[in-house]
Amino acid sequence: MMHSENIHSSSVYIQNRIVLLGASNLTLSLRLVIHLMQRRLGGPSEILAAVGHGRAYGVFSQALGRGLPGIAACGLWQYLHSVTARPTMALLTDIGNDILYGLPPEQILRSVEWCIGQLRKQSAQVVVTNLPIASIEQLSERRYTFFRRMFYPSSQMSRAQTLHCAHAVHQGLTEMASRHHFELYEQKPVWFGTDGIHVGYLQRKAFYQDVVQRFSPTRAQSDSKVNEVIFPPNWQWRSQFAYKTLFGRPIHRQQPSGQLSDGSSVCKY
């Protein structure tokens, strides 16, 4: 595994900072999203990612024995406020896992709003994907129960309770976007698979292309030839979580812990 001092010693000129916050969808498409954002905004980049299957914004979560802090409580924020300012673009997605972990809508919205506030202190462009409410509504009672047991085995929330909370978070994000003037992306059912919350495998590229179009390149970025990225960069060193638990045992990794073939550094929280 590559050590962070090797990553820092790279002579590559970093163009910008990309902050990616999310759960399963973002985890499954992380390299694709980085590539699409760099095509849109320039690169190489300093990438700060708080991702992970089952990840929540406001509560510690576990999946298959691996535990991660809530996104609002992870080490990304301390790191972000300790480094030199760069043009920063942030994507917040996969909001909703907190509902099945039992958090009330107002607490979920406070966690997301806090994250946006921290990003605004960095003058970041912020794009947020709203809950795929229409897709969730289309789930039958049987499908809802099946997928709830699969993805959230400890949850006992009924479909009606989940829909009530989802509508509240969806409306809350709409109102938040109006207050804080960030770009809110409404997700259509056509993007999603049978579980209503995961983007279909064949839809991922088109979906994230559509999302990334919501970012506005600066004039310098628009004029830069570095935007002409044809092939997605490969991992030279795959990033590791700065902090996680594995069956209750804490594991720490120094950051940045990953690097892409274009010289982009990756911090993973």
**pLDDT single digits (tens) 19-28:** 999 999 999 9
Residue type, 66: R
Would you identify the CATH topology of the domain 4-268?
A: Rossmann fold (3.40.50)
On whether the CB atoms of residues 173 and 112 are closer than 8 A, the answer is: yes
Q: What is the Cα Rg of the chain in Å?
A: 18
- Tens digit of each residue's pLDDT (9 = 90 or more) over 64-91: 999 999 999 999 999 999 999 999 999 9
For the cut 70, the answer to whether the pLDDT of residue 18 exceeds it is yes
CB-neighbour burial class of residue 113 (10 A; exposed 0-12, middle 13-18, buried 19+) = middle
Question: What pLDDT was estimated at residue 5?
Answer: 43
For the segment 199-252, what is each residue's pLDDT rounded down to a tens digit?
999 999 999 999 999 999 866 555 554 445 556 778 899 999 999 999 999 999
Long-range contacts of 187-193 (CB under 8 A, 24+ apart): 187/129, 187/130, 187/131, 187/132, 187/135, 188/132, 188/134, 188/135, 189/132, 189/134, 189/135, 189/138, 191/132, 191/135, 192/132, 192/135
Q: What is the pTM of this model?
A: 0.92
> The tokens of 50 are what?
């708080």
**Would you state the pLDDT for residue 227?**
47
Q: What is the DSSP string of 22-45?
A: -SHHHHHTHHHHHHHHHHHH-SSE
Look at residue 128 and give its three-state secondary structure: strand
Which pLDDT score is estimated for 221? 59
Instruction: Express each pLDDT in 178-197 by its tens digit.
Output: 999 999 999 999 999 999 99
What pLDDT, on a 0 to 100 scale, did the predictor assign at position 89?
Answer: 98
Mean pLDDT value of segment 116-128: 97
DSSP 195-229: TSSSB-GGGHHHHHHHHHTTS---HHHHH-GGG--
49-70 mean pLDDT: 96
